[in-house]
Amino acid sequence: MADGIALFCLLHPESQAKQDRCLELLGRAAREYYPTSKAKCTTWSYFTPFPPPKPGSTKPPIIGGLEIYTSKAALQSQVDDPVYFQSYHDTVKREGLYSKPEELVAWHLTEGFVARETNAEPFGGVLISVTRMTCKDRSEVLEFMKPFAQWVRANEPGVLTYAIFTRPKEPKEILLFVRYKDTKALKSHDKAPEHQAVVKKLGQMLENNIGKTTTLWLEVQDSFVSNAVGGKAVSSKL
């Protein structure tokens, strides 16, 4: 994905009912448009907080998403699409679905792997952790995280994605996107001595020793995470 681009987004629905409406619209596009060759989209993963808010919770609804395209031109083509992309945003405005504008940030895959197999199963229902880091020296962090990503690929089959993203405009930032088959895989990863060693080392290499935030999510149905357009099955290696 040297020429590809990943779009990380946060959507802010006005209410739980409007969150459901957003997911309904997004799911339709995921079934009918994004897996097609026209979309040039290799990954369409959307997710909601995990664990889910309890009934009566005052936390505002939020939807996260990661879309990966084969190139900047492919992303622009998707933005220009009148049937799904523009229609979705027209509906958002017409129905007042958002409480505030969505947040969109472009990233590039730098280390790790997006999918073990390009047709990544199971579809939806997996756990996701999203970690944002601000490094003292990003190149040093990437240097020791690359072999760890390789270790995860070889030793933790329950970790379906371990992808490290960067962006040129923010030379200190890293976005770590990890997908787990289930809670067992998440706990096993967290307890692994190799992972704990990485966490300890990171504590010394992030700005002010606190330059990291991690959130947990549950992937929605209709998501696909792949190395090929539309999630078609081809083996993937680091």
What is residue 218's predicted lDDT score, i.e. its pLDDT? Answer: 96
pLDDT averaged over the chain? 89
Interval 134-163: pLDDT, tens: 999 999 999 999 999 999 999 999 999 999
Per-residue confidence band for 207, with pLDDT thresholds at 50, 70 and 90:
confident
Mean pLDDT of 40-54: 93
User: What is the rounded CA–CA span in Å between residue 228 and residue 1?
Assistant: 10
Per-residue confidence band for 237, with pLDDT thresholds at 50, 70 and 90:
very low
What is residue 235's predicted lDDT score, i.e. its pLDDT? Answer: 39
CATH, range 5-230: 3.30.70.100
Looking from the CA of 46 toward its CB, the CA atoms found within 13 Å total 21
Per-residue confidence band for 232, with pLDDT thresholds at 50, 70 and 90:
low
What is residue 117's predicted lDDT score, i.e. its pLDDT? Answer: 66
Interval 64-110: pLDDT, tens: 999 999 998 998 888 888 888 889 999 999 999 999 999 999 999 99
Closest CA to 127 of 164, 163, 158, 165: 158
**Is the pLDDT assigned to residue 174 strictly greater than 70?**
yes
More confident residue, 54 or 175: 175
Closest CA to 127 of 49, 228, 20: 49
Distances, alpha carbon 110 to alpha carbons 19, 142, 200, in Å: 32, 8, 22
Per-residue confidence band for 3, with pLDDT thresholds at 50, 70 and 90:
low
Mean pLDDT of 23-34: 92
Give ∠ CA 138-144-148 in degrees, rounded to 5: 125
Tell me the torsion sign for CA atoms 198, 66, 9, 20: negative
> Which ranges of 50-192 would DSSP assign to H, the alpha helix?
72-79, 85-95, 138-155, 183-191
**Is the pLDDT assigned to residue 168 strictly greater than 50?**
yes
User: What is the rounded CA–CA span in Å between residue 120 and residue 116?
Assistant: 7
